[in-house]
Amino acid sequence: MITRIVTPSESGKRLHRYIRNMMPNYPLGQIYKMIDQGKVKVNGKRKKDSYELAAGDELTIFIEDDKFADASIGSDNKKVKFAGVVSNIDVVYEDNELLVVNKPAGLLTHPDQTEQKETLITRVHAYLHKKGELDSHMFLPASANRLDRNTSGLVLVGKTAGMLHQLNQWIQKRELDKFYVTIVEGALTHGGTVDAKLIRDERGNRTRVVKEGAGTTASERTADEKEATTRYKPLQAGKGYTLIEVELISGRTHQIRTHLQSIGHPLLGDVKYGGKPFEKVNHQLLHAWKISLPDGRVFTAPLPALFRATLKKAGISFALTSEAE
């Protein structure tokens, strides 16, 4: 029996295609047959081959381990090769089920079309493999949250299917609290909430606020619009800049960057979303510094060196503690 938890980046895939990606050497006809015979279940129930998977779905395939191993050769679910993969990661917390990692800026969270090897999750796999805790045929640990390449901070990794499912459930139900710190342009003197729908342009890799009224076409008022809510509060002002804490209520791509630009306070250095370069910083300084789980556990990650140095240059002196008050 093989178990997988569908990650946010895999949501929307049809069941038969998902299995096909897992088992490229298995005849497609046999995959359809397995689904029809109930040898594939989603959250313990039979589904049609056209079922669209959602993040957090638990997929169970009733197949012998040796058959799966042969069927998965050449796929991403083959035993991971770790030659040349960095296994050193900044571990914030670890137990038998959960791994919390502090991701550096500049590193992708997951592989994409531009990079397959040098990512946070491949480093995590290499780290767990080195410890003898990875069996990629049974379950491949995955992250429940994703950070942009140039965003640093906390990433939650489920080491077991059960924990990954739990993390995804907490995120979907908004029971998991995520806090970021960033530097924005201008003097931001009061906290507030940005509650504005977002629409994503995948081709241009940009997100924008959907504004009602002038300039909004009917085509923009579609199912592509996503509800998004961001809370923010100033921590300390400097020379034309403000250090703020942001609580991410929803989790849309580029949400913080887009929402803060929409209220006239783009992130320092974030040239993609209206910010100006600062010294040698030409990307957003955004750090996922605290995560609070519903079970009472709280994790924090210290500010990176570049972030601290930039604060000093911007005339901001602030010590980030477990409570950014």
Q: To 10 degrees, the CA torsion angle through 134, 137, 138, 140?
A: 50
- Strand, helix or coil at 145? coil
CA distances from 255 to 220, 224, 273, 298, 320 (A): 17, 15, 11, 23, 23
Distance, in Å, from the CA atom of 15 to the CA atom of 26, rounded to the nearest integer, reads: 15
Active-site residue, 57 included: no
HSE, side-chain direction, 13 A CA sphere, residue 278: 25
Q: Active site residue: 148, 177, 201, 295, which one?
A: 148
Q: Report how far apart the first and last C-alpha atoms of the chain are (Å, whole number).
A: 49
Tally of residues, the chain: 325
CA distances from 197 to 35, 85, 225, 232, 325 (A): 38, 39, 6, 17, 29
- What residues are labeled active site? 148
